[in-house]
Amino acid sequence: MKNLYDRYKRELESLHQTSSNRKLNSFKKLGQYIFVENKRYLNLSSNDYLGIAENKDVLDKFIEIADFSMGSSSSRLLTGSSYVFAKLECLLAAMFSKEKALIFNSGYHANTGIMSALLTKKDAVFCDKLNHASILDGIKLSDAKMFRYKHLDYNHLEELLEKNRDEYDTAVIVSESLFSMDGDIADLNRLIELKRKYNAILIVDEAHAYGVYGEKGLGIAEVQGCIKDIDLIVGTFGKAIGSIGAFCAGSDVLINYLINKCRPLIFSTALPEINVAFTYCVITEILPNMKEQRRQLLLNAQKLREALKAKGLEPLGESHIIPVILGSNKRAVDCSKFMIDNGYYLLPIRHPTVAPGSSRIRISLRADIEYEELEKIPDLIAQKMIESDYE
């Protein structure tokens, strides 16, 4: 009898042979460091950009006022939605100058739910080629026609819109504001021009920018002065905010439609009250006082990027996320192991997550890391790349 697991075994072996296999790691976290088998490493693979999630002072401050349930035990449309949710949603709507906001369990939930709810097979979506997997998965669930434009190539986007827009009932343009794999930033005002010209809905995912960019920490749309012109802004609490969950903010019509049609919202148990309350505490009590930390974070990123270039390396982007292109999966894995051996917890980003030949290590900076702790990184990566060339 045929072994039903044979195919899976073969695929796992193939992943191993191409340095593409993944595994789960377990460790203890303390501030900007993680500990594995009692060894300390500087954590440069985290999305905790402001160091809030591991900040004991923040947690202690919240616990003093915490009086919320540890579980929700129901979807939000049943009994899982308390006044704490409404309070946070009202705050988010006001901050983003929108009519209404809606909380989700995660960024993945938000993007898959939003795209699959708003689009049908009669619609078209125009999607940046490097948009997150959650956006792509939501589009696939919708049965809408997807046109993928070259990354940040708005002339290509306009060509696609001009050629195809009139064939579909509704058109949606969707882009991240800050792309996590390349660390680069979208021109949101150009996207707004195109959405107006071609009568489209514009959705912008601020996941990696929310909390870090802007005077109020609202993201790239705040920096570029165009919040009011974006139809639906998506963000997460699980990155710079140091909590869990996600949100979108937009018009009454769009939010009410999502409440009625978004399956991940309708059929998921809601977040526990205590998590939502913690997010509210961070946004109102902690984030407004972190302007200097945000400034220093971006300054450190600029200095490190320049130092990497001075060593002949290829750092991408312009943000606090600094990918360094290494080439093959094996080179990325080998470099990651070398950096970990030297005290830097830097994980490889490999194909198929990124294009073949563009595997990399991605340095995710944090506001609680001093630049002095980063100074050795360019020399170490350059050293490993020289060694790889002779292997």
CATH code of the domain covering residue 258: 3.40.640.10
Burial of 327 (0-12, 13-18, 19+ CB in 10 A): middle
Residues 281 and 295 in one domain: no
β-pairing, 246-250 with 232-236?
antiparallel
Note whether 147 and 126 are within 8 A (CB): yes
β-pairing, 145-149 with 344-345?
unpaired
Residues 272 and 355 in one domain: no
Stronger pLDDT, 298 or 385, i.e. the higher one: 298
CATH code of the domain covering residue 378: 3.90.1150.10
User: Model confidence over 342-353: pLDDT tens digits?
Assistant: 999 999 998 888
User: Model confidence over 23-76: pLDDT tens digits?
Assistant: 888 888 888 998 988 899 999 999 999 999 888 888 877 876 667 777 777 898
pLDDT at 119: 97
Half-sphere exposure of 85 (CA within 13 A, CB side): 21
Q: What is the mean pLDDT of residues 280-298?
A: 95
Note whether 278 and 243 are within 8 A (CB): yes
Residues 274 and 312 in one domain: no
User: Model confidence over 67-120: pLDDT tens digits?
Assistant: 777 777 789 888 878 889 999 999 999 999 999 999 999 999 999 999 999 999
Residue 305: is its pLDDT beyond 90? yes
Q: How many structural domains does the chain have?
A: 2
Q: What is the mean pLDDT of residues 354-367?
A: 93
Percent pLDDT > 70 in the chain is 97
In a domain, 376, yes or no: yes
Residues 33 and 62 in one domain: no
Quote the pTM value.
0.93
